[in-house]
Structure 1
Amino acid sequence: MRAWSSLLLVALLALGSQLPAASARKKGEKFGGCPPDDGPCLLSVPDHCMDDSQCPARMKCCYKACFRQCPCVAVKRGSCPEDGLRCLSPVQHLCNKDSDCRGSSRCCLGACGRDCRDPIQGMVPVRLGQVLSLSQPQH
């Protein structure tokens, strides 16, 4: 029990050491997140876009099947927080896209899979490096 408490304390300190950087949105970048690119790669398919400005109104330029295309996306503000951890348990996805999450929560890829998390509004964390390994996913 004491080892688990120490591990949890180290994890909280590691997460608190991530600092915000300047705004992550580039000029012309639309709000919302891209769906996960979990499919097989179709390497012979050319990119359909280079950035969001080349996609119609409710679409973003996202990687899907390892090439860029313009899928419809659920537009939720903010960026997914980066946890910087490494997972030792099997990967488990609790969501697949932002619309699977309630309210303003985003479907974010964490160390142990995708889950719904509160976004960082207008900021992204600076990754300070791999800090810790946990054997249980944090929800």
Structure 2
Amino acid sequence: MQKLINSVQNYAWGSKTALTELYGIANPTQQPMAELWMGAHPKSSSQVLGADGQTVALRDVIEHDKSALLGDAVAQRFGELPFLFKVLCAAQPLSIQVHPNKHNSEIGFAKEKRRRDPDGCG
């Protein structure tokens, strides 16, 4: 078993103390710490702490041996870790979030792209 070092996402609605109190995560600048991400997201992958004290992105560890770490079925279907676990630490009430399925997400993305670039040129 290896230790994961997970990333904190700072959003205005986050708590300045919860992650420190729960997990001992330092917050010297007193920024709101809204989400603790555990996973291999391209924006901010967890880091795997090796026995030698060096860290490697979980994303890179998985990429090196997908089938062994994810299982053949998941590796073939998704090609990466198919989820991102988030610990939310809200200091303010949040609105309800609903995430669409893949099909509806693709439709919505295409609509947004057309609104940003009506000529379809980037």
Q: TM-score, normalised by structure 2?
A: 0.23
Greater helix content: 2
Larger radius of gyration: 2
